């Protein structure tokens, strides 16, 4: 605890704002942001990646390694990362604390219960569910005909996708997909949090009139449960550098970013802030730029695009990506190129980071380096896993040099807020994913009509598989002539966006046959 406290003090946080949680982690009171208003914001570095494969991309490992590398070269840097969901830890995805020498600690606590933020969100979500049912049980004065609010649990459990209670048919979502998670992550202060909670759509009357949390009058109770979870968590990397790790909406079914309040705090504490967006640039980066950034009101100074030889070979058709396979690597490069095009279309500058694996061969690394240099793309190898900051100093120096030589430009967005909801979905699908068309199910079309007045001015959050540009997880590489199918529309009014769910997406994951739970 003393080590964390000493580090935090060097980053402008006074004693009164540090809240210890045991000896190896703590929280920082969110009001510390206001005490640092006189300090100029640092530079914001966004780490993203290509579409994930079983090979792993190591986005968090690179983020941690880059922050350690920046601090090693004298650039005062903070990390701003998401909290992992416990459900996937026992599924197949694993944790989210980095790897090797580029890790944050205590790894086990962070990947499981941490400081209780996820439990608080789960409790607040389920209290709201219980209050809705109690209201209906005692006469249904608000006239619920359809309840839109589900229940939640931070465990992968496919049996809870549909449940039957005494009152109604219901379902569960995983906690990372709870709208309360998104609301908490996007709120700027407690007043904003209460406003957003009150805006949550919880049901419809028989004539499709919306019913909100404000109609039920229970936002005060939800705030009481969430008050401590609103404070960002602080831990250290293995090299002793600070990281704010706060909240964790999934990027395939939510907006995939850590909290606004933690990012704002980090920007006041350091000259450089390294943050990440979930999954690939087609999902996480798009949502960071189109959903979080307008709320954050801060420009991105640079994008770091993470790739590995293994994942490129996997996208290039290799079944065994551990073995040398230059042909598969070459075949996988068009996938990388599409992500680069997306970053360029947003009018952002970027560098490519090759996350080095122990068994990478020099011939393949050199091929990718030469390919990038021929295209005038800035690229560097990152070896934080094996070497810590010694293996990321070159990447850190490239990041600083690129930012210093680059003038921030206005972002080009794939759609305008005054576009129709259908047009917003179509433009992301065609411009970001590369789809040829979008198909809407009958249910989705009916929902677009019902919710039109509520969502017409809002941005869209598309829930899609992270494994492919398409909505088919088996279509790797850079697929062509595919159609995206939208099966459902859900307003997320407290988050100030609406969700378009593609085919094959479940917001309560299931366990695999050989769950990682058997490995412990």
Average pLDDT, stretch 60-74? 97
Residue, of 369 and 95, whose pLDDT is higher: 369
Predicted pLDDT of residue 90: 85
- Is residue 331 within 8 A of residue 316, CB to CB? The reply is yes
Distance CA 455, CA 458 (A): 5
Band the pLDDT of 419: cuts 50, 70, 90.
very high
pLDDT band at 224 (very low <50, low <70, confident <90, very high): very high
Torsion angle of the four alpha carbons 213, 498, 95, 301, in this order, in degrees rounded to the nearest 10: -120
| pLDDT per position as a tens digit, 360-415 | 999 999 999 999 999 999 999 999 999 999 999 999 999 999 999 988 888 999 99
Sequence spans of domains, the chain? 2-116+229-404, 117-224, 421-502
DSSP codes of every residue in 331-356: HHHHHHHHHHHHHHHTT--EEEEEE-
pLDDT higher than threshold 80 for residue 93: no
**Within 94-189, where are the H helices?**
107-111, 117-137, 179-186
Average pLDDT for 56-73:
95
What pairs with residue 46 in β-bridges?
275, 303
Predicted local confidence at residue 125, as pLDDT: 98
275 a known binding residue? no
Which residues in 89-123 are b (16+ Cβ under 10 Å) and which e?
bbbebebbbbbbbbbbbbbebbbeebbebbbbbbb
Q: Which residue has the tokens 């968090």?
A: 60
∠ Cα 142 146 148 (to 5°): 100
Asked if residue 59 belongs to a known ligand binding site, the reply is yes
Rounded CA Rg of the chain: 22
Q: Binning pLDDT at 50, 70 and 90, where does residue 192 land? A: very high
Beta carbons of 91 and 515 less than 8 angstroms apart: yes
Question: Does 313 belong to an annotated binding site?
Answer: no
DSSP state of 289: I
Is 56 labeled as ligand-binding?
A: yes
What fold is seen in the domain 2-116+229-404?
A: Rossmann fold (3.40.50)
Question: Given this model, what pLDDT does residue 22 score?
Answer: 87
pLDDT recorded at residue 254 = 86
299, with CB counted inside 10 A (0-12, 13-18, 19+), is: middle
Q: Mean pLDDT across the stretch 144-170? A: 93
80 is in an annotated binding site: no
pLDDT band at 94 (very low <50, low <70, confident <90, very high): low
- In CATH, what is the architecture of 117-224? 2-Layer Sandwich (3.30)
Examine the pLDDT at 101 and tell me if it is beyond 70. Answer: yes
Q: Which residues pair with 379 in a beta bridge?
A: 352
Which range, of 8-17, 241-250, 296-305, averages the lowest pLDDT?
8-17
- 473: tokens are 């997880």
- Predicted confidence band at 252 (pLDDT cuts at 50, 70, 90)? confident
Which strand (E) or helix (H) includes residue 497? strand 497-502
CATH dotted code for 421-502: 3.10.410.10
% of the chain surpassing 70 pLDDT: 99
pLDDT at 2: 64
Per the DSSP assignment, residues forming a β-bridge with 499 are: 461, 490
Q: What is the pLDDT of residue 88?
A: 84
How far CA 167 is from CA of 172, 195, 426, 508, in Å, comes to 15, 29, 38, 21
pLDDT, residue 250, reads: 87
Q: Is 53 annotated as a binding residue?
A: yes
Integer Cα distance of 445 and 422 in angstroms = 9
Taking only the tens place, the pLDDT of each residue in 319-346 is 899 999 999 999 999 999 999 999 999 9
Residues 417-432 have a mean pLDDT of: 98
Count of C-beta atoms within a 10 Å radius of residue 360:
19
Has 393 been labeled as part of a binding site? no
Report whether pLDDT(206) > 60: yes
Average pLDDT over residues 163-169: 90
Alpha helices in 375-465 (DSSP H): 384-387, 393-404, 421-431, 442-455
Torsion of CA 126, 132, 133, 138, to 10 degrees: 140
Place of tokens 């046959």: 513
- Coil, strand or helix: which one is 479? coil
For residue 434, the 8-state DSSP code is: -
- Separation between Cα atoms, residue 336 and residue 273, nearest integer Å: 25
Q: Residue 330 has what pLDDT?
A: 97
Res. 1: pLDDT tops 70 = no
**57 assigned binding-site residue:** yes
Region of 481 on the Ramachandran plot (φ > 0 left; ψ -120 to 50 alpha; else beta): left
Whether the pLDDT of residue 54 is over 90: the answer is: no
Q: For residue 465, is pLDDT > 90?
A: yes
pLDDT band at 245 (very low <50, low <70, confident <90, very high): very high
DSSP for 52-116, please give it.
Answer: --TT---HHHHHHHHHHHHHHTT--EEEEEPPPPHHHHTSSS---SEETTEEEESHHHHHTTTTS
């Amino acid at each position: 605890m003393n080590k964390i406290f000493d580090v935090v003090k060097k980053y402008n946080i006074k004693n009164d704002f540090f809240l210890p949680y045991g000896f190896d982690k703590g929280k920082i009171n969110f009001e510390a942001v206001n005490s640092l208003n006189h300090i100029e914001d640092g530079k914001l570095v966004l780490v993203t990646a290509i579409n994930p494969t079983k090979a792993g991309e190591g986005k968090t490992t690179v983020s941690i390694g880059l922050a350690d590398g920046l601090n090693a070269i004298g650039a005062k840097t903070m990390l701003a990362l998401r909290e992992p969901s416990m459900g996937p830890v026992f599924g197949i995805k694993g944790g989210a604390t980095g790897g090797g020498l580029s890790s944050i600690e205590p790894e086990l606590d962070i990947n499981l219960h941490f400081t209780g933020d996820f439990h608080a969100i789960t409790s607040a979500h389920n209290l709201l569910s219980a209050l809705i049912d109690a209201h209906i049980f005692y006469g249904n004065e608000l006239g619920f005909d359809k309840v839109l609010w589900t229940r939640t649990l931070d465990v992968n459990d496919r049996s809870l996708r549909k449940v039957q209670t005494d009152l109604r048919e219901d379902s569960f979502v995983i906690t990372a997909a709870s709208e309360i998670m998104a609301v908490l992550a996007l709120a700027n202060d407690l007043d904003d949090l209460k406003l957003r909670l009150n805006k949550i759509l919880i049901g419809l009357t028989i004539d499709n009139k919306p019913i909100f949390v404000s109609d039920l009058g229970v936002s005060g109770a939800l705030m009481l449960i969430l008050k401590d979870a609103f404070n960002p968590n602080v831990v250290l990397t293995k090299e002793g550098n600070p990281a704010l790790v706060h909240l964790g909406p999934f990027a395939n079914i939510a907006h995939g970013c850590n909290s606004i309040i933690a990012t704002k705090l980090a920007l006041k504490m350091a000259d450089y802030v390294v943050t990440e967006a979930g999954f690939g640039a087609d999902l996480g980066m798009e949502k960071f730029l189109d959903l979080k950034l307008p709320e954050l009101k801060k420009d991105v100074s640079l994008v770091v695009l993470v790739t590995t030889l293994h994942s490129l070979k996997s996208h290039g058709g290799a079944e065994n990506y551990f073995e040398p396979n230059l042909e598969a690597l070459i075949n996988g490069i068009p996938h990388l190129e599409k992500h680069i095009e997306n970053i360029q279309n947003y009018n952002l500058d970027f560098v490519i980071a090759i996350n080095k694996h122990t068994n990478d061969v020099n011939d393949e690394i050199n091929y990718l380096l030469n390919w990038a240099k021929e295209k005038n793309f800035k690229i560097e190898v990152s070896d934080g896993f094996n070497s810590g900051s010694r293996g990321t100093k070159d990447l850190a120096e490239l990041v600083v040099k690129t930012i210093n030589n680059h003038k921030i430009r206005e972002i080009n967005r794939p759609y305008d807020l005054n576009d129709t909801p259908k047009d917003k979905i179509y433009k992301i699908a065609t411009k970001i994913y590369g789809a040829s068309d979008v198909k809407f199910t009958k249910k989705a079309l009916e929902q677009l009509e019902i919710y039109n007045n509520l969502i017409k001015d809002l941005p869209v959050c598309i829930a899609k598989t992270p494994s492919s540009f398409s909505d088919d997880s088996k279509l790797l590489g850079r697929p062509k002539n595919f159609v995206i199918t939208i099966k459902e529309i859900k307003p997320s009014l407290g988050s100030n966006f609406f969700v378009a769910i593609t085919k094959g997406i479940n917001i309560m994951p299931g366990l695999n046959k050989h769950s990682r739970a058997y490995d412990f």
